[in-house]
Every structure is written in structure tokens, then in C-alpha cells.
Amino acid sequence: AILPGEPGYIGDISYWLVDSEKAARMVDEIVRGIDRARNAEVKVAVQNGSGLPGAADYIASILRSYGFNVVSVGNADKFDYEHTMVLAPKGKQDIQSELLKSIRAAAVESKAYTSEEIPEESDVLVIIGKDFKMPR
């Protein structure tokens, strides 16, 4: 595969000038199996269940960068979730797997659970648990 870019000169020397944004997407697709076009069809709700300020916003921004349609960001019903969870109703495990792949590619450990208690406007619910550590 050739990295996306265009020919250009730096001084008098000809180079292939890589488009770093497109190259990052290409690596995500080829190496990590992340398909942004498919992800755009997935509606995700992100809730902070850890009490760590900014955790839900941080995870939502990661998911958006992978193309997911984040439809809501807020607090969970409580702040004592021990583990980060990705919940999906029966029949949506394929969507859940894609989201898990993306969230784990961002070094966020998470576990899959089946639940019918997903916010109405979303396909999948991510609840951030106490195991999540905000990068410095």
C-alpha cells in the first residue's frame, strides 16, 4: 500500500509528501480493522460511571475520531461502576464488537454486556468505569 499524499519538493529535492490525517485513517483501516464509514451508522451514548471529571467527554472524542455517531454524553445513574462496559441489546453484537475494537485500539480496556436498557436514541451504550485512567 502507498501512503496517501502527493509529490512535492522541499528545496530542490523531490519527495512524496504524506497526508498524515489520511495516513492515520489508512493505518486504522488496514492494521486495526476500523471502518469509519460503517462506524458513522452506529449511534453511541457515552456515560460517566466513574465520577472522574471529563471521562465521558474524553471517550466520546475518541469514538468520534473513529467515525462513530455519538448522540449523547453525560453521567450514568451512579459513579461506582468498577469496569468500563459496552452494552448492546441482543441482535446488535456485531455493532458492539466494532465499538469494542475501536475503544480498545485507544488503549481503553472494556467488557461487552448484553442489555436491553440502552438509551432510546442509541444502538450502543458505553459506561466509563473506575478502571479507566485519564491520560496525562
User: CA of 69: how far to CAs of 89, 130, 132, in Å?
Assistant: 18, 24, 22
CA distance 136 to 126: 22
pTM value > 0.85: no
Q: Which residues, in sequence order, are CB contacts of 15 under 8 Å at separation 6+? A: 7, 8, 9
State whether 16 and 77 are in the same domain: no
State whether 14 and 54 are in the same domain: no
Domain containing 101 equals 36-128
State whether 120 and 77 are in the same domain: yes
State whether 24 and 40 are in the same domain: no
- Chain-centroid distance of CA 31 in Å reads 15
State whether 62 and 122 are in the same domain: yes
State whether 27 and 42 are in the same domain: no
Report if residue 97 sits inside a domain.
Answer: yes
Count of domains in the chain? 2
State whether 4 and 71 are in the same domain: no
Q: Which residues, in sequence order, are CB contacts of 56 under 8 Å at separation 6+? A: 46, 47, 48, 73, 74, 75, 128
Residue-by-residue pLDDT tens, the chain, 136 positions: 788 999 999 999 999 999 998 888 888 778 777 788 888 999 999 999 999 999 999 999 999 988 999 999 999 999 999 999 999 999 998 889 888 888 887 768 888 889 999 998 999 999 999 999 888 7
- CATH number for the domain harbouring residue 109: 3.30.70
